[in-house]
């Protein structure tokens, strides 16, 4: 089960590592709070600062310094306290980066490349009120359906859907106790169906 960036880890494990031995395979993956880091960065960063940081990181990678930390002064304001390597920044902030699985602007061909190779059953559970998603719930539900369209039949669980009333971490339980219960029930149903 992956949450937030852990969702990218799950997708990477199941789609990018090639043939896995039986011992390395997993029976299913749960994507709780899958978001596009690239689109979330667009919501929270000044566009000029974001573009500049990406250009700096690209230059560093070109110079063979992808594992070096980007100078904090070159990062967008909200990221100046978080050391990030150039390669990692490009994974998060650029279209088609290593972590770019959940963006809304992919073409059908790009989605086929991302989702078409997924052979592991998946439960997709975005939060209805995710503060890191710049779209209305109906649009997010539509994205789940669009991703599923590129998977083989039966890969995307019928239990996939928006966690009612939940924020990104599903920790707003005082005002929304139902979301957490709904999440637990869906996960249980998915695991029971594997």
Give pLDDT tens digits for 109-150. 999 999 999 999 999 999 999 988 887 888 889 999 999 999
- What average pLDDT does the segment 37-49 reach? 84
Quote the mean pLDDT of the chain: 91
Q: Which fold has domain 2-36+101-193?
A: Rossmann fold (3.40.50)
Q: Is the dihedral of CA 179, 181, 182, 183 positive or negative?
A: positive
pLDDT for the residue 136? 82
Most confident of 30-34, 70-74, 94-98: 30-34
Give which of 45, 163, 39, 30 is closest to 101, Cα–Cα.
39
Distance, C-alpha 191 to centroid of its chain:
21
Per-residue pLDDT band for 85 (boundaries 50, 70, 90) equals: very high
Per-residue pLDDT band for 45 (boundaries 50, 70, 90) equals: confident
Confidence check: pLDDT of 158 > 70: yes
| pTM given for the model | 0.88
- What average pLDDT does the segment 87-93 reach? 95
For the chain, what are the domain ranges?
Answer: 2-36+101-193, 41-93
pLDDT for the residue 35? 92
Cα–Cα distance measured from residue 96 to residue 92, given in angstroms and rounded to the nearest whole number = 9
Cα–Cα distance measured from residue 15 to residue 111, given in angstroms and rounded to the nearest whole number = 13
DSSP string, 140-190: HHHHHHHHHHTSPTTSB-TT---BTT--TTS--TTT-HHHHHHHHHHHHHH
pLDDT for the residue 173? 67
């Amino acid at each position: 089960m992956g949450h937030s960036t852990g969702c990218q880890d799950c997708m990477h494990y199941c789609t990018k590592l090639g043939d896995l031995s039986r011992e390395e395979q997993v029976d299913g993956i749960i994507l709780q709070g899958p978001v596009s880091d690239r689109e979330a960065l667009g919501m929270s960063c000044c566009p000029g600062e974001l573009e500049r940081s990406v250009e700096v990181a690209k230059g560093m990678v070109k110079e063979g310094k992808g594992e070096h930390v980007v100078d904090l002064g070159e990062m967008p304001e909200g990221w100046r306290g978080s050391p990030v390597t150039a390669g990692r920044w490009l994974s998060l902030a650029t279209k088609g980066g290593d972590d770019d699985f959940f963006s809304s602007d992919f073409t059908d061909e790009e989605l086929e490349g991302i989702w078409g190779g997924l052979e592991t059953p998946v439960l997709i559970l975005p939060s209805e009120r995710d503060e890191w998603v710049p779209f209305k719930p109906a649009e997010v539900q539509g994205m789940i359906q669009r991703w599923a369209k590129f998977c083989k039949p039966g890969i995307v669980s019928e239990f996939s859907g928006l966690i009612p009333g939940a924020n990104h971490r599903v920790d707003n339980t005082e005002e929304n106790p139902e979301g957490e219960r709904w999440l637990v029930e869906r996960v249980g149903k998915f695991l029971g169906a594997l």
